[in-house]
């Protein structure tokens, strides 16, 4: 199996595509040798070629990487030809040293709710590929995030079992979570009149609306799972209300519109948004001009 040139190229591309040293192989081009007494003898005459990229985009300083390069890398990484909503790229130094490049996709996969679906980011150690879908590097409610984490401290023979017990992995997981939530906070805080940076790109405020439509139900899982970040998550949740038919209302928006003397946040639950919106219980609140979350 490993004497097959194409198989070797496949393995090099998967595990060693981003190491700093180029890997070269002789091309498999065969020609008949022109030697007396050896009719029909074939010899390899292919030229030597580099079969790995020998570079890793995430190791470069952010200022040296263009938005177009970030998008192209995402397309290759996620096999998704729709550009991501946003990304965060950071090098972290301290007790644990690692680099993270994490993306928010612009649409949810069809198997988002499949319990057996593999999720997680790609794990590298010193630019050597270790595994796909390293779910230990992010909490389950951020399973939609795509990207790369490159650790300088984990062993090259790290296993999934070791990842569950590693103190370094716990530090990386917490750091990744903070970065993703900060990225979402930046999108959520974008002014409504902020313009897109490029033609065909969504405005920042529209990006968060897209994110919430695609992944809001998943993010809300964190309210019950991640008590340490619950306050941050609450600020990211969006609701429909009697003032808005679409889920664009945050708790801060609601609080800013509360009537003088109002001391509670009112909400109603129902099987569907339409049923909640048409509930007769809302009439008294509409008459008093009090907003109700749906």
Better-predicted residue by pLDDT, 195 or 124? 124
CA distance 70 to 62: 10
CATH number of the domain enclosing 182: 3.30.230.80
CATH number of the domain enclosing 286: 3.40.50.11260
Determine, yes or no, domain membership for 13. yes
Determine, yes or no, domain membership for 194. no
Contacts of 71 (CB under 8 A, 6+ apart): 83, 84
> Whole-number mean pLDDT of the chain?
85
Instruction: Pull the structure tokens for residue 81.
Output: 């030809």
Determine, yes or no, domain membership for 231. no
Contacts of 262 (CB under 8 A, 6+ apart): 290
Instruction: Pull the structure tokens for residue 110.
Output: 């069809």
Chain segment 41-90, per-residue pLDDT in tens: 656 666 776 665 657 889 989 999 999 999 988 998 898 989 999 999 99
Chain segment 147-183, per-residue pLDDT in tens: 999 999 999 888 888 888 889 999 999 999 999 999 9
Range of the domain at 17: 5-50
Residue appearing with tokens 């990225």: 183
Question: Does residue 98 share a domain with residue 22?
Answer: no
Better-predicted residue by pLDDT, 6 or 107? 107
Question: Does residue 72 share a domain with residue 42?
Answer: no
Determine, yes or no, domain membership for 12. yes
Question: Does residue 87 share a domain with residue 37?
Answer: no
Question: Does residue 253 share a domain with residue 130?
Answer: no
Determine, yes or no, domain membership for 63. yes
Q: pLDDT over 70 for what percent of the chain?
A: 80
**pLDDT, position 168:** 93
Question: Does residue 67 share a domain with residue 172?
Answer: yes
Contacts of 68 (CB under 8 A, 6+ apart): none
Question: Does residue 32 share a domain with residue 136?
Answer: no
Better-predicted residue by pLDDT, 273 or 21? 273
Question: Does residue 65 share a domain with residue 179?
Answer: yes
Q: How many domains does the chain have?
A: 3
Contacts of 28 (CB under 8 A, 6+ apart): 5, 44, 46
**pLDDT, position 220:** 95
**pLDDT, position 114:** 80
User: In this model, does residue 200 exceed pLDDT 70?
Assistant: no
Question: Does residue 115 share a domain with residue 63?
Answer: yes
User: What pTM was estimated for this model as a whole?
Assistant: 0.82
């Amino acid at each position: 199996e490993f004497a097959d040139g194409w198989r070797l190229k496949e393995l090099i591309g998967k595990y060693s595509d981003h190491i700093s040293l180029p890997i070269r192989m002789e091309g498999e081009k065969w020609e008949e040798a022109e030697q007396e007494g050896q009719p029909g003898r074939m010899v390899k005459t292919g030229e030597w070629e580099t079969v790995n990229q020998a570079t890793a985009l995430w190791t470069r300083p952010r200022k040296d990487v263009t938005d177009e390069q970030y998008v192209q890398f995402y397309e290759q990484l996620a096999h998704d030809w729709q550009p991501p909503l946003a990304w965060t790229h950071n090098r972290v130094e301290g007790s644990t040293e690692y680099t993270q490049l994490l993306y928010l996709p612009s649409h949810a996969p069809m198997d988002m709710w499949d319990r057996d679906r593999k999720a997680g980011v790609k794990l590298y150690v010193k630019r050597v590929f270790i595994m796909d879908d390293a779910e230990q590097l992010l909490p389950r409610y951020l399973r939609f995030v795509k990207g790369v984490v490159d650790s300088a401290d984990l062993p090259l023979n790290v296993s999934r079992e070791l990842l569950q017990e590693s103190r370094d992995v716990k530090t990386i997981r917490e750091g990744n979570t903070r970065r993703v939530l900060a990225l979402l906070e930046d999108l959520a805080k974008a002014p409504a009149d902020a313009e897109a940076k490029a033609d065909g790109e969504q405005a920042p405020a529209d990006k968060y609306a897209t994110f919430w439509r695609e992944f809001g139900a998943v993010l809300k899982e964190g309210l019950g799972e991640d008590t340490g970040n619950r306050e941050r998550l609450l600020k990211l949740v969006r609701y429909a209300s009697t003032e808005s038919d679409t889920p664009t209302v945050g708790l801060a928006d609601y609080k800013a519109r509360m009537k003088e003397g109002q001391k509670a946040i009112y909400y109603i639950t129902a099987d569907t948004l339409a049923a909640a919106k048409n509930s007769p219980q809302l009439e008294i609140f509409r008459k008093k001009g009090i907003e109700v979350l749906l």
